[in-house]
Amino acid sequence: MHATIVQIILVFIVTFIAGIDQFSFLESLYQPIVMGMVIGLILGDLQTGLIVGGTYQLMTIGNMPVGGAQPPNAVIGGIMAAILAITLHLTPTAAVATAIPFSLLGQYGVTLIFTITSPAMAFADKYAEKADPKGIARMNYITMCLMGLIFAIVVTLFFIGGSTFGSQVVALIPTWLMSGLSAAGGMMRYVGFAILIRVMVSRELWGFFFVGFALAVIIAGITSLSGSAMVILALIGFGIAYWDFQIQTKLSKVNSVQGGDYEDGI
C-alpha cells in the first residue's frame, strides 16, 4: 500500500493527540479500540482497524503502571498494529504480535520523556511561588507537546518506512515464523483478559462470569444470532448489572435505616 501525503499527515495528527491524551486529556481516545477504528478510517479499511484495535485492546486491558514501571505502551503498539495489518495485509493476530516491539519502544520513550521533563517541576515550583498560573500552564503545554511530538514522529517514520519497504520485508519472513506470530498474537488477548480477571474478580462475581461464558458459547453457536452476539451479550450483561445495582441499593438503604454496616467491594 502506498501512503498518500494526506494519510501521513492524518496519522501524525492522530498519534500526536493520542500521545497527549494518554496522560493529559484522559478522554480514552488513545485506547487501541478507538485508535484502530480511526487508523482504519484514515487508511480506508475500517473493518480491519476495528478487529485489530479490539484484539490489541484485549491484550492490554489488564496492563497498568505500577510505581515507576511502565507497561508496553498501548498508543504506539495499537496504532502500529493497525498500520501493519492494513498496509502489509497481515492477519490481525500477526499484526498484534509484530507490533509488540513498537509498544516496548513506546514504553522506553515514556520513561525517557519523564526523565527529561522531571526538571520542569522545579520551574513549576518557581512559578507557583510567584503566583504565576500562566507560567505553570506554559510548562504543562510544553511537556504535553513534547510527548505528542515524539510519539507522532516515531509512528509516522515507521508508517512511511513500512509503506515503502514493508512488502519486501514480509516476503522474506518464512511461513512458519508468520504462523508463530499469529499464534502468539491470538494468545495475547486471552492473557490480557486473564490479568484483568485476576485483579478484579471476587468470589461473589464468579457466578456471573460462568453465566456470561455459557451464554457466549450458546449465542455464538446459533447462526442467526452469531453476527450480533456481542450486542446481545452486552445488553444481557447490562441488564444483569443494573438489576444487581438495584438490589444492592435497596439493601444498603435497609441497612442504613436499621443502623447496620455494609461494605461494597469490586
What three-state secondary structure class fits 92? Answer: helix
Looking at 2-11, 89-98, 118-127, 249-258, which range is the least confident one?
249-258
pLDDT greater than 80 at residue 193: no
Answer whether residue 179 is part of any domain. Answer: yes
Note whether 212 and 155 are same-domain residues. no
The pLDDT of residue 250 is above 70: yes
Segment 118-135, tens digit of pLDDT = 787 788 888 888 888 888
| C-alpha grid cell, residue 205 | 462475581
Mean pLDDT calculated for residue range 16-32: 84
User: What is the span of the domain harbouring residue 174?
Assistant: 5-200
Total domains in the fold of the chain: 2
User: pLDDT, tens digit, for every residue of 51-68?
Assistant: 898 888 877 776 666 555
In whole angstroms, give the CA distance from residue 255 to residue 265: 16
Of 41-50, 132-141, 248-257, highest mean pLDDT:
41-50
**Bigger pLDDT: 230 vs 262:** 230
Between CA 180 and CA 192, with CA 186 as vertex, the angle to 5 degrees is 125
Q: What is 98-150 written as a DSSP string?
A: HTHHHHHHHHHHHHHHHHHHTTHHHHHHHHHHTT-HHHHHHHHHHHHHHHHHH
Are 161 and 87 within 8 A, CB to CB?
A: no
**pLDDT cut 90: percent of the chain above it:** 10
* 216/176: higher pLDDT: 216
| Residue 112, in any domain of the structure | yes
Distance, in Å, from the CA atom of 23 to the CA atom of 176, rounded to the nearest integer, reads 39
Q: Tens digit of pLDDT for each residue in 131-151?
A: 888 888 888 888 888 888 988
Task: Report the pLDDT value the prediction gives residue 136, as an integer from 0 to 100.
Answer: 84
If asked whether residues 129 and 60 sit together in one domain, one would say yes
Q: Is residue 182 part of a domain?
A: yes
Within a domain: 19? yes
Same domain assignment for residues 186 and 212: no
Q: Are residues 121 and 179 in the same domain?
A: yes
- Domain final position from 183, 200, 217: 200
User: Do the Cβ atoms of 215 and 237 come closer than 8 Å?
Assistant: no
Buried-state track 54-88, b at ≥16 Cβ within 10 A, e below 16: bbbbbbbbbbeeeeeebbbbbbbbbbbbbbbbbbb
Residue 162 has pLDDT above 80, yes or no: no
CA nearest 81: which of 97, 65, 69, 64?
A: 97
The one-letter code for the residue type at 55 is T
Q: Say whether both 176 and 254 belong to one domain.
A: no
| Domain-located, residue 264 | no
Q: Say how far residue 103 (Cα) sits from the centre of its chain.
A: 11
Quick one: 213 and 193 in the same domain? no
Using the predicted structure, report yes or no on whether residue 153 has a pLDDT greater than 80: yes
**Residue 13: per-residue pLDDT:** 94
- Based on the domain organization, do 161 and 252 belong to the same domain? no
Q: How confident is the model at residue 109 (pLDDT cuts 50, 70, 90)?
A: confident
Does residue 100 share a domain with residue 14?
Answer: yes
Give mean pLDDT, residues 177-183. Answer: 63
40 and 52 in a single domain? The answer is: yes
Q: Do 190 and 64 share a structural domain?
A: yes
CA distance 21 to 218: 39
Residue 265 lies in a domain: no
Q: 75 Cβ partners below 8 Å, 6+ apart? A: 15, 18, 19, 22, 30, 35, 106, 151
pLDDT at 39 over 90: yes
163 domain-assigned: yes
Per-residue pLDDT, 116? 79
Lowest-pLDDT range, 1-5, 83-87, 173-177, 197-201? 173-177
Identify whether residues 222 and 208 lie together within a single domain. yes
Same domain as 60, residue 163: yes
The verdict on residue 266 lying in a domain is no
